[in-house]
Amino acid sequence: MKPGMLLFIFIVVGYFAFEIYAVSKVSYRTEPVYIFERFVAVDRAMNRCGQSGNDTKVDFDRNLAAVQRRAELELLEQNPSKSVNDIQAFLTQTERQQQAEVDTLIDELGCDDIELFKLVRGYENRARLNIHAPSD
């Protein structure tokens, strides 16, 4: 086999390996629990550092409820031995933990920090989504 062909094969294999690695590093971002955590974080940031219109809040709350329901169903599927109450308790704990993290960020950096700005802006973006709760 010619050296040029070997180099080409090496580059192609390397490229695919890199792509697989990159996808595996960010795949958690599509997990329902992670998405729920992000919704809770931006909700807390908006409640403490921003103002939203009533329509925006209604839209956000609807999307948050849908995301929470998807997380519940995913956790129930992954953990069939757990009860609905166990799963809801876990999500409540997750919610409190996210809120505490945002509270700490606000206490340390203040509402004018760029990270808090991003969270508040994320609230508006998530409110614009049209997420539907899955049926049981």
Selected residue with higher pLDDT from 36 and 3: 36
Q: For residue 30, with 0-12 CB atoms within 10 Å meaning exposed, 13-18 middle and 19 or more buried, which class applies?
A: exposed
Q: What is the mean pLDDT of residues 59-64?
A: 94
Counting residues of the chain whose pLDDT is more than 70, the rounded percentage is: 79
| Vertex 115: Cα angle to 105 and 129 (nearest 5) | 110
DSSP code of residue 133: P
Residue 123, classed as helix, strand or coil, is helix
| CA 125 to chain CA centroid, nearest Å | 13
pLDDT surpasses 50 at 26: no
Both structure tokens of 33: 């629990």
Question: What pLDDT is attached to residue 46?
Answer: 94
pTM: 0.75
Q: What is the mean pLDDT of residues 109-121?
A: 90
Q: Which of 62, 49, 82 is nearest to 129 (CA)?
A: 62
Both structure tokens of 106: 């606000």
Selected residue with higher pLDDT from 64 and 8: 64
